[in-house]
Structure 1
Amino acid sequence: MSTRDELIGYCLVNLPNEPAFEHAEVLADRYRAEVLADRDRQFVAWLLKKSREEEHGEVIARLASKVARGAVRPNNLRTDFFQPGHTYTHVDDGTDWKFRVDTVTTHPEDGERTALGWRHFRGQWEPCAYGEDDYEIHLYVGTADVTEGGAA
């Protein structure tokens, strides 16, 4: 359960005369947006300060501009899970395991991510789904991104 869900549940249980569930969701989402916007403003201010102090400040200033206009978003930064369009393998474990990710979806109730794609193991390709717990296991044994023409 997320902190957002806990907050909404707390409001509904402890403030019975307050707005309905949907309104509590709207308020929680609005508060989150305010917190993120404030964080982004502080980060941009810090980047601009660093751009004036550093030797290659123009690069930092360009990054600040991208953050300020919303070009840097959490959904295009996530690297803490399998990424669509990427292929992964184990490093130095002696297996022929590979996993090509076609898409990532989330569970409708708890939001847990699942990567859907094709696994190559023991000489055969087969459809496969890996959840977040599976990712932690593969990360532990040394998974590497071996996408051709992309990040490796």
Structure 2
Amino acid sequence: MIHIQEPKSPWEVVHMDWVTALPPSGDKSYNACLVIVDRYSKTPIFLPCHKDDTAMDTDLLLWSRVISHTGLFKNIISDRDPKFTSALWTNLHRLFGTKLSFSTAYHPQTDGLAERMIQTLEYMIRRFCAYGLECKE
């Protein structure tokens, strides 16, 4: 199990994970969501995307919609999704000085903040869809 030092300020340490297999929604038919949770404040960010987005797409989305506002992260905690373990992702974040920490296959609670936020998001989406509403960007 990895030991994560508690952050001293917001957006130093974030948890990331994906929600996939969502019904297509919006003008761009988004069918996935990148969930980012700040470990310090527990603030979530939900970024609509596509389940077949590449590591490059993910980095561009992360940079344009999050890092440009929060600054660079010191540590990203995630599962071992191929996007998060790709050479592009690991090399780019090494250049940024961001430490990448991965949860193990049989110990997903390491990334518990993102996992709990995903449960909440899925509940909200189910309620939203129950009323026949559609997500907009």
Bin of the TM-score, shorter chain as denominator length: under 0.3
Pick the structure with greater CA Rg. Answer: 1
TM-score of the superposition, structure 1-length normalised? 0.24
Q: TM-score, normalized by length of structure 2?
A: 0.26
Q: Which has the higher contact order (CA 8 A, sep 6+)?
A: 2
